[in-house]
Amino acid sequence: MNHSPLLEKAIELLREVNSEEPVLDLACGNGRNGLYLINQNIDVVFSDIKESALEQVKSTLISHHDEDKSSAKFWQVDFEQDSFEQEELKPLAGKSFSAIIVFRYLHRSLFEQIKQAVTAGGYVVYETFSVDQPQFGRPKNPDFLLRHGELAELFSDWQIIHSFEGIIDAKNADAESGKQAIAQIIARKP
Ligand SMILES: C[S@@+](CC[C@H](N)C(=O)[O-])C[C@H]1O[C@@H](n2cnc3c(N)ncnc32)[C@H](O)[C@@H]1O
């Protein structure tokens, strides 16, 4: 259960961010990334639509961590419930995090909510597949693939600390090539 190397680039920033708020691991899955932050003594809210995913994170925490000392919280939520028109019903409305990390998940309607929910001086760490991915495997649906320059444009009013688009070697890639096309960003909110 390896965390993304991108998080290691952000770890000092996430440790030093001047905020009382936790980090949100948005669509956390098995929690590989949030658990890495917990190991670095950073408070994390694990969020996913799947109760089973959150249960898996909890059992990993119980088997590998002193639960009492763990600063993990859990939030079962559907981030795609944005058919609601009312602002206050949007999943991230009124919430505040020192950083939001998003890995291998894309729902474009959430972008503005993500930007709003990060405290001033906080961070977004985002990594998911780009439009070049279909040659290597899933996903192939353009709704789940970042366009070239999309993250950099989205965070153009933030301080961009790291930005990458390209092909990486990935052990868990579902293509024989073992390659994945991804885009990454680490950005700081003004
Ligand atoms: C490809 S996994 C990525 C998991 C994790 N971020 C990682 O990189 O290992 C995508 C995750 O998004 C979650 N997800 C999908 N639709 C969702 C929704 N509408 N609201 C919340 N989570 C959702 C899935 O349950 C799954 O755990």
DSSP string for 147-186 = PTTHHHHHTTTSEEEEEEEEEEE-TT-SSTT-EEEEEEEE
Mean pLDDT of 131-155: 97
| 4 CA closest ligand 1 atom index | 8
pLDDT in tens, 6-49: 999 999 999 999 778 999 999 999 999 999 999 999 999 999 99
**Per-residue confidence (pLDDT) for residue 65, from 0 to 100:** 66
Task: Name the percent of the chain lying above pLDDT 90.
Answer: 82
Rounded Cα distance, 165 and 167, in Å = 7
Model confidence pTM above 0.85:
yes
Higher confidence at residue 96 or residue 177? 96
Using most ligand atoms within 8 A of CB, pick from 7, 49, 107, 126 the residue to mutate for ligand 1. 49
For the cut 80, the answer to whether the pLDDT of residue 174 exceeds it is no
pLDDT band at 139 (very low <50, low <70, confident <90, very high): very high
pLDDT tops 60 at residue 142:
yes
Average pLDDT, the chain: 92
Q: What's the pLDDT at 71? A: 85
Confidence of residue 176 (pLDDT cuts 50, 70, 90): low
> Which residues form the pocket of ligand 1, taking CB atoms under 6 Å from any ligand atom?
27-29, 32, 48-50, 53, 77-80, 103-105
Q: Are 82 and 105 in contact (CB under 8 A)?
A: no
How far, in Å, is the centroid of ligand 1 from the Cα of 102? 9
Ligand 1: centre distance to CA 26 (Å): 8
Q: Specify the CATH class of 6-188 in words.
A: alpha beta
Partners of 74 in the β-ladder: 46
DSSP symbols for 93-125: TT--EEEEEEES---GGGHHHHHHHEEEEEEEE
* Residues 14-25: tens digit of each pLDDT: 999 977 899 999
Q: What confidence tens digit (pLDDT) does each residue in 79-123 have?
A: 998 665 677 678 999 999 999 999 999 999 999 999 999 999 999
